[in-house]
Amino acid sequence: MDIIKKYCKKHRNFLMYMVFGFLASLVNIFSYWFFGHLVHMPYLFANSLAWLVSVLFSFFSNKSWVFNSEYSTLREFLKEFVSFMLSRIVSFFADNFIMILGITILGWPSLWVKILDQLLVGLLNYGTSVLVFNHENKKMQAALKRSKERLNGLRNNK
């Protein structure tokens, strides 16, 4: 039992991300189905709206429950939000590319393509989420910045 606890503690962020990433994928798939099949939007519009809904869900779930990211000012919150949204722009283009490839070029059913798409985009999103929310990375980046400033100060004093 201790081995399981140690494993869960060591890989907590990844395991939590898997749970909330799965939920975000369900939000994305359901939203795509709603906009594309019930509202009858063209598939790229439906996909883009589904992306937006699931990214907003991901931001707040990752922030609160996966990475336990806290902020004390509105400025810090907005910086994190903008960083997250910018990091997900890559997944937006990957998401739409996969949909175009699967539906338009290969002629596969759109919901099957959407499910495959979410598996691939989910892996990409994990990498970008770690960069945005991982406070250890932020602490390391801040320490590197201070070191560079000190080094530049020493150089300027010579």
Structural domain boundaries, residue 94: 2-133
pTM, two decimals, is 0.76
Residue 5 confidence class, pLDDT cut points 50, 70, 90: confident
Q: Is 33 exposed, middle or buried (0-12, 13-18, 19+ CB in 10 A)?
A: middle
Is residue 109 situated within a structural domain?
yes
Overall size of the chain counted in residues:
158
pLDDT for the residue numbered 145: 65
**Mean pLDDT for the chain overall:** 84
HEC letters along 109-151: CHHHHHHHHHHHHHHHHHHHHHHHHCHHHHHHHHHHHHHHHHH
For residue 69, pLDDT over 90 is answered with no
* Total domains in the fold of the chain: 1
CA-CA distances (angstroms) from residue 150 to 69, 137, 138, 142? Answer: 28, 20, 18, 12
Is residue 142 situated within a structural domain?
no
Is residue 70 situated within a structural domain?
yes
CA-CA distances (angstroms) from residue 65 to 112, 137, 148? Answer: 29, 18, 33
Is residue 120 situated within a structural domain?
yes
pLDDT cut 90: percent of the chain above it: 43
pLDDT for the residue numbered 83: 83
